[in-house]
Structure 1
Amino acid sequence: MQISMKCSIAVHCLIFIHEAKGIAKVTSNLLSESTGCNPVVIRNILSALKKAGLITVARGTGGAELCVAPSQITLYQIYTALEPDGITSLIGIHPCEGRSCPVAQNIRKVLQKPYHKIEDSIKEAMESVTLQSMIDEFEDIVQTPD
């Protein structure tokens, strides 16, 4: 079970976009160089973030910018922009209801409540982390290197 790397790449891009404001035009090629990801992957991530209303991207020559204050963007918003199934895809239940075994016939019902509790906890934790808090952490690290 793992949160996809798209989320960390998106956070990387968003912090880069924030830090580059007024310094450089942030394009998919520039973000590709920074992240080490293919520009097509970056464009797909930027497209999802744009669709979620978190960034704007200038047509033609590019240039991504945040369109929401970093303090108003949560890690959960970033994650759900990239993962259409959201956190429900983190924990799956294998399909086995059609089997004659009574455990197989009822395992979904047994797991639904604890899995929903786990999903709710993950969502709550992700909603408590903002892009601003991650930017602050980044800036603290950059200012006080090891």
Structure 2
Amino acid sequence: MHITNKCSIAVHCLIFINEYSKEIKVTSKLLARSTGCNPVTIRNIISSLKKEGIVDVKSGTGGTTLAVPLKDISLYNICSSVDPKSIDKMIGVHSKPSSLCPVGNNIRNVLDETYNILRENLISSMKSTTLEKIVSDYHALL
């Protein structure tokens, strides 16, 4: 189970935007340098965050800022906006178990209830983890 790269990159970008957007114009090129990603990847992530109302992007000259307070942005908001299937990628059953095998034939039904509880707990935990806490953790490391 893991958080996808897109989610981690989005969190990285949001921390950077929070820390520097008041001092400098935060562009996809600058975020690409900071994250080590291609600017196109960054633009796609920023576009998804913008659609979700998490960031604002100035047209023309560019520059990205946070659209809402840190406390109102959850890890769930971030991950679901940049990778809508992120939860399913974290908790899923392999796709082609053998129907000829008693275990393979029943594994999905066996795991459904357990995985649904895990999924609900994961979503609840991600919703309660705010960008404010993540930024606080970042500051604690400085």
Q: Structure 2 length as normaliser, TM-score?
A: 0.90
Separation (CA, whole Å) in 2 of partners of 1:140 and 1:100: 54
The Cα of 1:62 is off from its aligned counterpart by 1.2
Q: What is the number of residues matched between the two proteins?
A: 142
Percentage of identical aligned residues: 46
**Per-residue displacement from partner, 1:39-92 (whole Å, max 9, x unpaired)?**
111111101111111011112221111111101101111111111113122122
Give RMSD over aligned pairs.
Answer: 1.6
Separation (CA, whole Å) in 2 of partners of 1:97 and 1:33: 42
Are the structure 2 counterparts of residues 19 and 97 from structure 1 closer, same or farther at C-alpha, using a change threshold of 3 Å?
Answer: closer
Are the structure 2 counterparts of residues 34 and 96 from structure 1 closer, same or farther at C-alpha, using a change threshold of 3 Å?
Answer: closer
Separation (CA, whole Å) in 2 of partners of 1:22 and 1:74: 22
Q: Secondary structure at the match of 2:12?
A: helix
Separation (CA, whole Å) in 1 of partners of 2:98 and 2:135: 49
Are the structure 2 counterparts of residues 20 and 110 from structure 1 closer, same or farther at C-alpha, using a change threshold of 3 Å?
Answer: same
Separation (CA, whole Å) in 1 of partners of 2:138 and 2:98: 50
Partner residue, 1:6 = 6
The Cα of 1:22 is off from its aligned counterpart by 1.9
Are the structure 2 counterparts of residues 86 and 36 from structure 1 closer, same or farther at C-alpha, using a change threshold of 3 Å?
Answer: closer
Q: Provide structure 1 residue ranges, at least 5 long, that are not aligned to the other structure.
A: none
Separation (CA, whole Å) in 2 of partners of 1:96 and 1:10: 32
Q: Structure 1 length as normaliser, TM-score?
A: 0.88
Answer whether contact 2:7 2:78 (CA < 8 A) is retained: yes
Deviation >2 Å, runs of 4+: 94-106
Moved more, 70-79 or 86-95: 86-95
